[in-house]
Amino acid sequence: MAGESIKYITQLSWQEYISQRLLAPLQMNRTFTTAASFLNEPNITAGHTFSNDSLTLVHLLIKLNPIATADSYTDQPGQSHVA
């Protein structure tokens, strides 16, 4: 709802508005509003978790379901998981 309100009032998408009005003034040049924005970045962090008593890399998100709940993610195209 907030995203649609921003779009109606400013004529900018939520991503554009956040980038221009929040991130740019704070010089947050390496902060992204979508997963697609950082997929080609050479220097990004990745989550890790403990599994079977060893540290395991959490797979990088490939595609997010835009209609899924806030706690869902996918590590493979066409699949969705809930955290």
Q: Where are the beta strands (DSSP E) in the chain?
A: 48-51, 54-57, 72-73, 81-82
Cβ atoms of residues 31 and 20 within 8 Å:
no
**Tokens matching residue 10:** 């400013």
pTM of this prediction?
Answer: 0.52
pLDDT score of 22: 92
pLDDT by residue for the chain (83 residues), tens only, comes to 777 888 889 999 888 999 999 999 999 988 888 777 777 778 877 778 888 888 888 765 555 555 544 544 555 455 444 44
Domain range annotation of the chain: 1-33, 35-83
The candidate with the shortest Cα–Cα distance to 68, out of 50, 48, 47, 82, is 82
